[in-house]
Amino acid sequence: MPRPLSHFRIVDLSCVLAGPFATQLLADLGAEVEKLEPPGGDPTRGWGPPFEEDDPEMSAYFRSVNRGKRSRSVDLHTEEGRALLFSLIKDADVLVENFRADSADRLGLGWKRLHAKFPKLILASVRGFASDVSASRRAGYDFIIQAESGWMAVTGEPDGRPMKVGMALVDVIAGLYCANGVQAALLHRERTGEALHVEVPLMEAALAGLVNVAAGALMTGETPKRWGNAHPHIVPYQSFPCSDGEVAIGVGSDRQFEVLAMWLGLDLEARPEWKVNRGRVRDREEVVALIEARTQASTVEEVLAMCEANAIPASRVRNVDEVLFRKGGELHNLLQPLYDEASGKMVPTVCSPLLLNGERACAPLPPPRREP
């Protein structure tokens, strides 16, 4: 497999998800990653169940974002610990950390001090809030940022409570931005010789992740609403109940709706305003009610067969285990087992979705055990 970052060394001080996810992405691309954990270990080692059998410090949570790394324990509150860190970053290309800015400064890991001592070192900092805003000293977990950024306010049923997304998606987005920023900084250093400080605030990653929702609010000044599984700007684009389950239908063009209208027995000459998405959005409730009446009288397979025959994007609403196992060979090829010498077993992992020359990017090392 191509390993384009194999000549770079990364020291990873980050814990939990965003920073470790970023360094796992870089490890998948070939970078050598040394994970330095606090004396008690990365907190996510204890976030469970589930845990690996016979190892209560190998949670599924930790396993999900620490593939491809070697690990050791270091106490940065001691002289010995800081000396170990500085001996490692002396020869490293990148240091990744997720301390609050003031905590990093107290540990001697602020950008100005590090850059003066290690001028070629790239520093990547994942924060809850940016260092140049008044909230910079606040800690930021994904759940808190989902509440603070407006994500929860636009997630959930229209008449229900605000809800978080089902996984730590703010952390994932921040990790992607961090990995992207690190690679840009490496390219910049190779071209100019200058090292950069890459900073990724979770709050701002979440705001960037609002994409069209934020753009709509900026355009109109109106407060975005919750739409459940529906789309605020496209109709129909949501899930519908069938006699034996739920089906998601995404009509992305007016031509697709013309075909759907034929299936519904709907005469669009009598409702010409529905030939365009703008009219369907305006009459959302009436359009959705017509579709629901037909899907409720149909099975999921009947609806999917109609959609497939007419190139209308659709899917059964599936459970995670069904996607990972029963439908794996049809829908994806992301599961890759890694051999773990410590246990003598194969560790199942969800590898990177990146394909390089047709091969999936996946670091060969399983998530590291904690030092005794």
Q: Any idea which residues carry the catalytic annotation?
A: 171
Contacts of 169 (CB under 8 A, 6+ apart): 142, 146, 209
Point out which residues pair with 250 in neighbouring strands.
Answer: 237
- Mark residue 118 as left, alpha or beta (left: phi above 0; alpha: psi -120 to 50; beta: remaining): beta
Which residues make beta-bridge pairs with 11?
Answer: 34, 95
Alpha-carbon span 276 to 52, nearest angstrom = 53
Instruction: Write out the H or E segment, with its range, that includes residue 337.
Output: strand 335-340
Q: Across the strands, what pairs with 314? A: 249
Cα 85-91-92 angle, rounded to 5 deg: 75
| Strand 197-201 to 122-127 pairing | parallel
Check the CA dihedral 97-102-103-109 and report its sign: positive
Contact by Cβ (8 Å): 370, 41: yes
Whole-angstrom CA distances from 7 to 10, 30, 198, 357 are 10, 8, 20, 19
Contact residues for 235 (Cβ-Cβ < 8 A; gap 6+): 251, 277, 280, 281, 284, 287, 288
